[in-house]
A = this chain, B = another copy of it.
């Protein structure tokens, strides 16, 4: 799956993942109205609204981006109907041949971590049969519990040719509280980065390529990105924090290797709620999907210029 992701980044020329994190306040009024008319102001109504909203965006950008990253919390908040909308979104994106990164940030130990891995990336056994639960291609994973939390995911990834992105240095302001603590002269995130590199060393589909054990490093920390790029040379980095959180194209260059690969930049509200920005206001509510498309094109250009400027 990491090879598919790389091939799609190359063919679209866009190291971009669109974060499908639907908040109700992003969903145009006409979509909300239609959903509520049909299902009432219920969890089912909310789930229908975010699903239709997602569908419009995916249709508008699926030829431009290699991947999408639905944030499961935004679905989980609507209970079971929300989880059904999550599953429909994953399935629809896979139909459109997009690589789906489930932003689930799961992390537990042993058989529990394996259950998460099976549910999101693998197949669960029921009697003599087996089924896919949610069926994403990648999942994000929290490292706090150490190897016991990661190796069950790697086992499933190996079997299913899937992948994970392990949180290393997150994009939020308080990420330093623990991640920046100094341990023998190195930051905790460096230590986690080294571990990610080690975990990934035996998860290389092709010699000299990238591992399917990736890392999450926030665009809001470009200097840390530069350090981590060196510590994890064969690790693909998923970079959140571009756009709404303050990361800019110029901040991103350190996340990429010389080959122009090694990183994929996420933007969520910068794409899916573009219609609410002044810059794309001309599209209006009705043109929210077109606004998302324009935002992707602008982001692609911003990244391309930044990468060109460094060489």
A residues with CB within 8 A of B = 21, 23-24, 32, 36, 41-43, 45-46, 71, 73-74, 76-80, 82-84, 87, 105-113, 115-116, 118-120, 124-129, 131-134, 142-149, 167, 170-179, 181-184, 188, 191-192, 195
Contacts and interface: CB of A to CB of B under 8 A. Distances in A.
Contact of A167 (B79, B145, B181): B145
Given A77-B119, A146-B178, A133 B183 contact: no
Copies, count = 2
A131 B74 CA distance: 14
Given A83-B80, A124-B46, A182 B183 contact: yes
A124 B77 contact: yes
A75 to B, nearest CB: 9
A299 to B, nearest CB: 21
B191 A175 contact: no
Contacts of A108: 71, 73, 105
A86 B107 CA distance: 18
A221 to B, nearest CB: 13
